[in-house]
Amino acid sequence: MIAEMKHVSMVVQTKDKEFTLDSLGKLGLVHLENFQYSSREVDDALARKNRAETAYTFLAPFKTKEETLTPPSLESSEAVEEVLKLKDDLQAAMEREAALEIQIVGLETWGDFDPADFKFLANKGYHIKIYTVVGSKTDNMDDLEGDVMILREGKKGLVFAHVTREPVRLDDYEELNLPPQSLSAMQAEKKALETKIAEFAGKAQHYYGLRPALHAHLEDLDSNLQYWIAKANTVDEGNLTAVVGYLPADETEAVQNWARQNSVAIAITEPETIESVPTLIRNPKWLQIVEPVFKFMSTVPGYKELDISLIFLCFFTVFFAMIIGDAAYGSIFFLAGLGLVIYYSKFKKEKPPLAVVLFTILGLATVIWGSMIGSWFGSPELIQGTYLEQLVVRQLTEGFSFYTPAGEFYKDLRGQDVIMLLCFIIAIFHLTIAQVWNFLRALSQRSLAALGQVGWMFINFGLFYLVLDMVARFNLDQALGAGGLVTSISLNIIIVGIALIILFGSQIPGGRFLKGLLVGLGNLPSTVLGSISAFGDIISYVRLFAMGLAGAEIAKAFNNMAGDLLSGNTFIFGVLILLIGHAFNFVLCSLGVLVHGIRLKMLEFSGRLGIQWSGQDYNPFRFRRDVV
């Protein structure tokens, strides 16, 4: 849940400002408000952090397995400068090598010659320039003054040397710009540069061992930067300085005690605006495993928005399992995660990262779903005659025949049809949770807008029938033998839903009903468009079926490709196709979870709740300041 926050204003004498910030940083409870003010100290701290970050990043590709490379003994600031100098030297050498390579390629067809010879001949009174000419201009060459020597001739044109006693430039022809040095000199310089680049790379490998120290230095610099930003964002007025920020409501007493001990005038109030209030999410330990997903997406709900962690974890687990859709792939996630959990718990004697625990659970869920649909590396034949075959839910693989309540045959449903229907059932259940949540929020505020949310629920269920009929080809009227009753009910509840939204959807607590009604009528076009969008939202859940089916078909394709090769002398090629193919499909399915599984939560579900993910993390002021 999102913790309640309080606004805190502190006033101290300006002469005590740095002492107060030092003490406040040690307390580590107040999120200071950033007014985007800056100062010389901020600019200096940011520049030093950026330089250290550049040095740290530069060394990343130079990791070596050789343990004999002992990093030099340098202070952190010295290490940054040494690494940056090495970076500049290496970059300059590589750029010069690349430039020489281009020149060498362009001159190799001419052979080796020394540009100094042209200067020598010019001093003797013979000025030589080399030109290229296309076929259409070769007829005019007889009229040129001086001597003309054909150096190379082809179908498209030729190259000639023009020798004169005075400097002459021919504007109608393209002149060859002479290089500053000979071809052999450039090749020698390039070879020397290759040696130098190798030396620089070796030195970078030697410096790679500095990365842990540089990482710690970066943390110090970031903390130092936050200190100077905090100082710059205090408000000075005469001899007094104001420091403002936010703190969790349950930490109010601790901050008040700190203020008394440090002679700080303090006022703790309710936030007047919510735009700058940070978000602190406090979940029980078992629910914190979903936090890596939010951190990966860099999404934080606003202070007055909703925390969907529990719903997210439940449905994301289902989405993950259905999109991966293979028990063998799920076993890889599960066993890898379980192995890491054991490694951290028994050998490193620490709690495993939350992401590891999350993937272990997601892998287990995928194993369960994959076992239900009998998919193991895309081949149901692998489990024939084994205990795993008994775990398969036949209705999900073979389908079943559907009869009306009167016992009349309606249609045969394939396994794929059943899974598609399941996706739409998940959709209506998932989206209805959002609408019920909105209904309860409005009800708690005693707002008539709660009836507007009932209207959206009516629209959802009316559209659900249309989706089943138009997309899944499953007509409830025929399936239930209702004779058009379900169609009539569905259309009527959509109309009633729109009416409820117009009447009550724009009502605010304590507001006038007529004013809300007029706003609702003005929003009629957007309400109709919202209904169409709701239709698309329900359909979008078919991606769970589509992605699972795509992964299964790709796996089957690679199995078929390798099948004929798994005997005789081609056995090794068959195994390679299976390894490469399933590795590719494994990665593709995993990417599908990021693109499609998370989308259903971030767009369709969050959109129904009005979550814009516009918040900022609660980041209490802490520091390790140095003296500049």
* Three-class DSSP category at 272: coil
- Give 10-residue mean pLDDT values along the chain (628 residues): 91 89 89 87 91 92 68 80 92 91 76 71 75 66 70 70 77 72 84 91 87 88 88 88 91 92 90 87 89 85 88 91 92 93 88 91 94 89 85 88 87 89 92 91 86 90 90 87 87 90 79 76 79 86 88 88 78 87 88 80 80 86 65
Asked whether residue 242 falls in the same domain as residue 153, the answer is: no
Rounded distance, CA 399 to CA 384, Å? 19
Tally of domains within the chain:
3
Closest CA to 467 of 421, 410, 407: 421
148 and 250 inside one domain = no
Helix or strand run (H / E) with residue 463: helix 449-470
Own/partner long-range contacts of 505-508 (Cβ < 8 Å, ≥24 apart): 505/449, 505/452, 505/453, 505/455, 506/449, 506/452, 507/447, 507/448, 507/449, 507/452, 508/447, 508/449
Q: Is residue 15 part of a domain?
A: yes
Range of the domain at 426: 400-540
Q: Are residues 415 and 491 in the same domain?
A: yes
Q: Which of 508, 540, 572 is the last residue of a domain?
A: 540
pLDDT value of residue 138 = 59
Provide the 8-state DSSP code for 165: S
Q: Residues 241, 161: one domain?
A: no
Distance, in Å, from the CA atom of 47 to the CA atom of 225, rounded to the nearest integer, reads 10
pLDDT at 142: 62
Question: Tokens at residue 22, please?
Answer: 């030092």
Q: Where is the domain boundary, 540, 562, 582? A: 540
Residues 405 and 529 in one domain: yes
> In this structure, are 242 and 150 located in the same domain?
no
Q: Is residue 241 part of a domain?
A: yes
- Whose tokens are 């709690």? That residue is 351
Q: What is the pLDDT of residue 100?
A: 87
Q: What angle do CA 155, 156, 157 make, to 5 degrees?
A: 100
- CB of 563 closer than 8 Å to CB of 382: no
Whole-number Å distance between alpha carbons of 55 and 308: 39
The pLDDT score that the predictor gives to residue 424 is 92
Whether residue 252 sits in one domain with residue 157 = no
Bridge pairing between strands 127-134 and 174-175: antiparallel
> Which pLDDT score, from 0 to 100, does residue 140 have?
63
In this structure, the answer to whether residues 268 and 147 fall within a common structural domain is no
360: part of which helix (H) or strand (E)?
helix 354-372
- Return the pLDDT at 166: 77
What is the reported pLDDT for 628?
A: 44
CA-based nearest residue to 83, from 97, 71, 69: 71
Q: What's the CA gap between 247 and 305, in Å, rounded? A: 18
Is 190 part of a structural domain of the chain?
no
Residues near 611 by beta carbon (within 8 Å), at least 6 away in sequence = 301, 302, 305, 306, 308
Cα–Cα distance measured from residue 240 to residue 16, given in angstroms and rounded to the nearest whole number: 9
The answer to whether position 33 is within a domain reads yes
pLDDT of residue 523: 75
d(CA 610, CA 616): 17
Strand partners, 163: 128, 147
Query: Is residue 171 in a domain?
Result: yes
What is residue 102's predicted lDDT score, i.e. its pLDDT? 84
80 in a domain, yes or no?
Answer: no
- Long-range CB contacts (within 8 A, 24+) of 523-529: 527/498, 527/501, 527/502, 528/498
Tokens at 333, concatenated: 């996630």
CB-CB contact of 279 with 309 (8 Å): no
Q: At 269, which CATH number?
A: 3.30.70.120
Cβ-proximal residues to 90 (8 Å cutoff; 6+ apart), any chain? 197, 200, 201, 204
Give the Cα separation of 6 and 253 in Å (integer). Answer: 12
Report yes or no on 468 lying in a domain.
Answer: yes
Does residue 589 lie within any of the structural domains? no
In terms of Cα–Cα distance, which of 304, 281, 248 is closest to 7?
248
DSSP designation for 141: G
Q: In angstroms, what is the C-alpha Rg of the chain?
A: 36
Q: Please give the distance of CA 395 from its chain centroid, rounded to a whole number.
A: 37
